[in-house]
Structure formats: C-alpha cells, structure tokens
Amino acid sequence: MPKVKVPRKSTNIDMTAMCDVAFLLLSFFILATKTKPPEVLTVETPSSVSTRVVPEKDVVLISIDHEGRVFFSLSDNNKEQKLAIIESIDKARNLGLTDAQKKAFGKSNSFIGVPFSQLGSFLLTPADDLKKIKMDGIPVTDSINNQLVDWMLAAKSAFEGKKMELLVKGDNNSKYPAFQGTIAAFKRNDLMKFSMITNPEGVPTGSELSKANRVKSAAAK
C-alpha cells in the first residue's frame, strides 16, 4: 500500500569501537614482547617435563651448538665477576691481554667461543662483526687440552660467596663427546650441580610422574 512505507534501516556498522579494541590488544602485545638480545648462536634445545624456570641472574652459560662447538658466556648483571674472570684467565694462561681487551669482555654479554690462542683478537672484534667470524668453540674433547677447565676455575673463584647458576644449553644434534667434555670440565672443578636448558613439555598422562604430581597437588590443597 502506498501509504505504509517500511522504514529503511542503514546497514553501515560503525567500526570505531572495533578499531579501539584492536589497537588496545595491539598495544598490549607490543609491550608484552621482550626483545631478545641478538644471538650469535642458534641452538635448538630438546624438550623435557621439568618445570623449573631458567634463572636470569648470576648465570654462567655453556652453549653447545649442533656441530659440538662449546661457547662460554655470562649473564649481563655480573660485571665485576666478568672482570675477575678475565683477570684470572689472563694470569693463569699468561695471555698478556691489554686493558682494552679486558674491558671489551666486561662490556658485552661476554660470549667466548675461541681457544686461548685466538682470545686476544676475538675480544677486539666489534659486536657487529661477531656474527661473521667463524668461531671454533672452546676445545673440550681433548682431555689434555680441556680449556673449559680453566674457564670454569676462573668462574668458580669469581663467584666465591655467591650462588653461581651453572647452565648448559645444548643443541639436539650435538654429539655426546662435546657434552662429555663439558661435564669433565665441571667435575675437575668440583662443580657437581648444574641444569640443562630445555623446552617445556607436558607430562605424559598415566605416567608415574603425573600420578606423583597429582598426589602433591592434592596434598597441597
């Protein structure tokens, strides 16, 4: 009927609110992402059911890459320990490092992956070139020339009085001799407790560990 007109409704939805929500979520995620320091090394760690979190402070990290090369590094907050370590290494091995080289070690995330013979020149390379040079890793497989023993001895004395968190980050495909040499270096310095960095993994259902966890959480409640 010409008199009754169906009121026409607009089909345009106002997208302003949606836009606000989208940018709110976006800002949350931007602030939540922690920027990773540029890693010189790519290590793919295996997974484990362990639930202990990796400590961030007072960490001495031994990284083993897929070719079995061993690298030694320290966490950033231990500046005085770093200087102490490089001093003892210098004295023990008579390397004759200059103050500039020692400072370079203390400044960066003190990542060492070269035998003592190349240590001097390694410390002088600027951070940007680190990715380009090929590091051979600290020699550990030869029990006579296990240089990691010296590094661990220096680290142990530098961390005297403090609790040193010893971490091993090994690649899945690295062969056992590199890990064996690392453990041998720890044993020689009487460092019996250490942790291995792994990816988190769910406990398999029905296993002993899951039953134990259930008992523990029931007892805690």
Partner 1 sequence: MAEMDTSSGGGHHKKGPGVKKSKKLSTRVDLTPMVDLGFLLITFFIFTTTMSQPTAMHLGLPKDTEKPEEQNKVKESGVLTLLLGKADVIYYYEGQLAPDAGNLKTTGFKDIRDVILTKKKSTNPSDFVVVIKPDKESRYKNVVDILDEMLINDVKRYATVDISDVEFMVVQKTQEAAGIK
What is the binding site for partner 1 (CB under 8 A)?
10, 12, 14-16, 18-19, 22-23, 25-26, 29-30, 32-34, 45-55, 64, 167, 170-180, 183, 186-187, 192-201, 203-204, 207-209, 212
Please state the closest distance from residue 26 (CB atom) to partner 1, in A.
5
Please state the closest distance from residue 215 (CB atom) to partner 1, in A.
11
SS3 184: helix
Please state the closest distance from residue 111 (CB atom) to partner 1, in A.
18
Burial of residue 62 (CB within 10 Å: 0-12, 13-18, 19+) is: buried
- Contact yes or no for 54/196 (Cβ under 8 A): no
Please state the closest distance from residue 77 (CB atom) to partner 1, in A.
18
148, 179, 149: which is closest to 64 by C-alpha?
179
Please state the closest distance from residue 172 (CB atom) to partner 1, in A.
4
56, 76, 70, 50: which is closest to 137 by C-alpha?
70
Nearer to partner 1, 77 or 180 (CB): 180
In the numeric block, the tokens 């370590």 are attached to: 85
Angle between helices 148-158 and 176-188 (to 10 degrees): 40
Nearer to partner 1, 108 or 195 (CB): 195
How many Cα neighbours within 13 Å face the side chain of 8? 3
Nearer to partner 1, 44 or 80 (CB): 44
Nearer to partner 1, 124 or 176 (CB): 176
Nearer to partner 1, 49 or 83 (CB): 49
